[in-house]
Amino acid sequence: MEPTVELIRPLILRWAFLLLISGAFTIFLVVPLFLGRFQESGLIPDDHTPRRFLAGLGWGFGGVLFLVLVGLVTRETSLILGASWKDIYPGLEIGSGTNLGNSLVLIGPLWAVGLFIAEQSLFEELLFRTILFAVPAMGTIRLGELFLRLVGGEGLRPALWAASWGFWGVASSLLFSAVHLGNPGARSEPLFLANVFLIALALALAYRTFGGIYFPAGFHFAWNLAHVLLGMRLSGFPSGLPWHPVAVVVGEPKLISLSPMGLEGGMGASMVGLGMIAWLVWQRKLGRHVGN
């Protein structure tokens, strides 16, 4: 029986969880501390939104392509033409169920897998880059500014902004890495977890640099979709389609890949994360950023 992607239950549970968390933040933090600053949340689109989203897509697809090309040079990856997921993962048994640990959520028709990845990317970016990063950072800044006015220390405002964004960027990235501990093989691959943290930190910096969720969401969607289109493991999970014009097989781990996590578990992913951070810092130096 060909695998299918059952989307209804995981989508309902994930969005219910997101609404619960966002509701709590709205009541206890957003209303008293964030009032009047919603334009800084990064959720309101502007004239630059399409360009930033496309830039995120470019970095996501380009990052995976870079890993594949370097893997071909180092002979860690090879290409298969006209392959199905069964050719890529011989002996893989597809069970039943809809939980996130089941390969059903990653192997199936393109429309279903693409829909799930789009939902997953948006969900995780809203949770980790907005609710757990931007909202508490701006709430902390608001509290800090009130305190500085009381003590006459408004000259410390730039330091307050830098410290708040920096602290919550690191904290949210650590949480993002921690939720990947349940992925197959993740606990025995510290470099994979370090790469997840590094890329999450880069996405937090992108959120702050471009003033919104659109670059991170574009990157996240493209990065995950590229893995599926090429039939590669995505964060340890087998992923693929009923048929691939071109598929990538990751061989013996050397520089770029580390089994069982695939390309995300090696030094290649580290280079992508560091490269994106360097590019974002350069963008800020050129003045192509929003806010402080």
Q: What are the boundaries of each domain within the chain?
A: 49-91+102-285
**pTM (2 d.p.):** 0.84
The C-alpha atoms of residue 278 and residue 209 are separated, in whole angstroms, by 12
Percent of the chain at pLDDT > 70 equals 76
Closest alpha carbon to 44 in 195, 210, 162: 210
Tens digits of per-residue pLDDT, 36-71? 455 555 567 777 888 999 999 999 999 999 999 988
More confident call, 12 vs 263: 263
The three-state DSSP-derived secondary structure of 9-49 is HHHHHHHHHHHHHHHHHHHHHHHHHHCCCHHHCCCCCCCCH
Lowest-confidence region among 86-95, 170-179, 200-209, 216-225: 86-95
The predicted model gives 135-157 an average pLDDT of 84
Cα 31 from chain centre: 27
| Strand ranges in 52-196 using DSSP code E only, listed in sequence order | 77-83
CA 49, 120, 275 angle in degrees (round to 5)?
60
How does the average pLDDT of the chain come out, rounded? 80
- Tell me how far apart the alpha carbons of residues 60 and 264 are, in angstroms, rounded to a whole number: 12
Distance (Å, whole) CA 40 – CA 211: 7
User: Helix, strand, or coil here: 210?
Assistant: helix
Q: Which helix (H) or strand (E) holds 184?
A: none
- Residue 283, amino acid: Q
Roughly how many angstroms between the first and final C-alpha of the chain, as a whole number?
Answer: 55
Q: Identify the band that residue 112 occupies on the pLDDT scale cut at 50, 70 and 90.
A: confident
CA–CA gap between residue 267 and residue 162 (Å, rounded): 29
Other beta carbons within 10 Å of 161: 19
Give the integer Cα–Cα distance in Å for 144 and 152: 12
Q: Tabulate helix, strand, coil % of the chain (nearest 5).
A: 65, 5, 25
Q: Assign residue 75 a region: left if phi > 0, alpha if psi is -120 to 50, beta otherwise? A: left
d(CA 56, CA 50): 10
